[in-house]
């Protein structure tokens, strides 16, 4: 706006100088008048020069604006489509015929923000499909900017060679279902500010050994790390309040440095067949729900204890509320000390099956 105003003022001065020169020409040509005309002519020449410079600057800025309309950040190997409401763009996958291995989502496309990655948009770009001729490239690395809030279901699934992803910022944890299923990660780091891990987000990543959760994360979703058998040491931030059902199902080699102090909910089969968890498990004062078979086959666990020992019920229904007809009060004496025996299946003496009931705290 300021540059446009300057240009208008310059044009106005140019017109005024021309009018003044004409006026002097009409009134005679005395020596004084000639001097004034020469002075005005010099000013006119200078004004014309500034006007040309201003026009060149406007042209240069216009070229910059046009360039920014195409993309800010990002690689020029991705197709985008306008959202239904016309206010943003959605990344919908690699352009036809590209052979690149790295893909960086743009923050802005055609002057509008890129806020979403479409469902299955980058899915299946693996070596097998490349060899079969069904895709033109193999995706190995991805960069997702902070403008992207929604990640579509299975957006990057079945990219077996995808080993590196970077995030510019957090995304909606209620999106991203199975987004990176069956990829090739060995390490996965969530962005700072990320509040939750979506359902099935990294399921069946058989090479995944290290997961880094940010402080402040609250939820690990249903089946987030389902069948990720190579995960080893795991540290939970104390901000975690919910670990949903089957979150670490069959993570055979997982060991746990700590259980989050503020955990409130542990879903059924959350650590099913995690046979190497050896440290004592302690649930803090905020804990309210223990899902069935949460530590099934947790034969290495030394003990499971609850800070809160009274007001518990057990039931076989997840949806049953304390005191309902199919709940039974948990005897207070059984909620004290070592609960290893309590959490075994009642019909067996084998120390490999932990948990048959749901435990609900009133």
The answer to whether the pTM exceeds 0.95 is no
Q: Taking every pair of C-alpha atoms in the chain, what is the biggest distance, in angstroms?
A: 123
Dihedral of alpha carbons 77, 83, 87, 90, sign: negative
Residue 327 CA neighbour count, 13 Å, CB half: 20
Q: How far apart are the first and last CA of the chain?
A: 64
Helix, strand or coil, per DSSP, at residue 88: coil
Structural domain boundaries of the chain?
2-67, 185-362
Whole-Å CA distances, 181 to 82, 167, 252: 26, 17, 18
pLDDT at 248: 97
The dotted CATH code for 185-362 is: 3.80.10
Mean pLDDT, contiguous 10-residue spans, the chain (362 residues): 50 49 53 75 74 70 47 90 98 98 98 98 98 98 98 98 98 98 98 98 97 97 97 93 97 87 94 88 92 87 84 83 86 68 58 69 82
pLDDT attached to residue 284:
92
């Amino acid at each position: 706006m300021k540059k446009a105003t300057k240009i208008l003022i310059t044009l106005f001065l140019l017109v005024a100088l021309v009018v003044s020169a004409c006026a002097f020409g009409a009134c005679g040509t005395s020596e004084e008048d000639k001097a004034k005309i020469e002075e005005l002519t010099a000013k006119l020449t200078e004004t014309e020069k500034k006007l040309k410079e201003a026009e060149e600057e406007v042209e240069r800025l216009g070229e910059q604006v046009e360039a920014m309309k195409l993309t800010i950040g990002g690689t020029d190997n991705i197709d985008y489509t306008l959202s239904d409401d016309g206010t943003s763009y959605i990344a919908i996958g690699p352009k036809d015929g590209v052979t690149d291995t790295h893909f960086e989502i743009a923050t802005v496309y055609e002057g509008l923000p890129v806020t979403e990655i479409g469902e299955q948009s980058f899915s299946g770009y693996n070596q097998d499909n490349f060899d079969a001729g069904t895709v033109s490239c193999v995706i190995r690395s991805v960069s997702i900017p902070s403008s992207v809030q929604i990640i579509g279901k299975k957006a990057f699934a079945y990219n077996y060679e995808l080993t590196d992803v970077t995030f510019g910022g957090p995304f909606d944890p209620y999106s991203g279902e199975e987004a990176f299923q069956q990829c090739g990660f060995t390490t996965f780091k969530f962005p700072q500010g990320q509040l939750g891990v979506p359902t099935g987000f990294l399921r069946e990543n058989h090479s995944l050994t290290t997961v880094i959760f940010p402080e402040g994360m609250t939820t690990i979703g249903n089946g987030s790390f389902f069948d990720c058998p190579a995960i080893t040491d795991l540290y939970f931030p104390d901000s975690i309040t919910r670990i949903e059902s089957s979150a670490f199902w069959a993570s055979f080699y997982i060991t746990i440095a700590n259980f989050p102090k503020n955990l409130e909910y542990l879903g059924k089969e959350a650590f099913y067949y995690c046979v190497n968890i050896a440290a004592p498990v302690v649930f803090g004062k905020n804990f309210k729900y223990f899902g069935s078979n949460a530590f099934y086959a947790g034969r290495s666990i030394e003990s499971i204890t609850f800070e809160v020992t009274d007001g518990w019920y057990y039931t076989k229904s997840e949806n049953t509320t304390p005191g309902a007809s199919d709940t039974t009060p948990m005897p207070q004496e059984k909620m004290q000390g070592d609960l290893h025996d309590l959490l075994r299946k009642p019909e067996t003496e084998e120390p490999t099956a932990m948990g048959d009931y749901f435990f609900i705290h009133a």
